Amino acid sequence: MKRLIYPITIGLLFGVAGFLLTVRGYAIYLYYSWILLLFLLAVISAPSKAARTVTGYFLRMLLIAFIAVGLTAAGLGVLILQKQSTCRAISVTIACLENHRSKMGAYPSDLAGMDVPPDLRLRVNRIADSGISLEGIDECDAVFYLLPDRFLCVVPITKTFPMSITRFYVYQWASDDPHWRTEKIVWLLGSLK
């Protein structure tokens, strides 16, 4: 039993870190650094006096990976439940936008006068010539893109990754496709300006 304390402790450290990063929306960071994490696991759990055999080493690695991946997967589950809750809360605002269009013939240019959940941080962004603006998308719960004839609502699931070109995941509701769906947005670093 004493030989299991070290791999369980290491597994919990990696797992808790993975859980916290995932819940905060940084799951994509774990995706890109998975090879580094596996290398660190191999170095940290190198054979010691307690486990000199290859089988013991393999079992320690397996235990560490199982705990770390299990807790990270739990964090992803919590993150998805949080974002789905945000989508349900925003449905009131979406209904207000549709009601405004049925009365006025066009969608509003902002969310003033709309029923907005008070505990959510919503933002209205512009649609640029090159596509949608991602400005401030990591600091809010949802972003609306409003045009007179249509609108788009984006709830970011993961955070943007600061590279020259990358992707992140969102829930998206469009007025011409009125249901929530998961989308992958590919963006260039320049689109955050």
**What is the model's pLDDT at position 190?**
47
As a whole number of angstroms, the distance between CA 40 and CA 37 comes to 5
**What is the model's pLDDT at position 54?**
64
Minimal CA–CA distance to 109: which of 144, 135, 155?
144
Tokens of 164: 């020259």
**What is the model's pLDDT at position 36?**
61
Question: The whole model's pTM is what?
Answer: 0.75
Residue 180, C-beta contacts closer than 8 angstroms, at least 6 positions apart: 87, 171, 172, 173
Beta bridge partners of 103: none
**What is the model's pLDDT at position 193?**
40
**What is the model's pLDDT at position 116?**
85
Q: How far is CA 23 from the centre of its chain?
A: 8
Question: In which residue are the tokens 């990754």 written?
Answer: 161
Question: In which residue are the tokens 């260039």 written?
Answer: 188
**pLDDT by 10-residue block (mean), the chain, 193 residues:** 72 78 70 60 60 68 78 85 93 92 92 87 80 79 90 87 70 91 72 43
* Torsion, CA 87, CA 89, CA 95, CA 96, rounded to 10: -130
H/E element holding 83? helix 54-104
Tell me how far apart the terminal alpha carbons of the chain are, to the nearest angstrom. 55
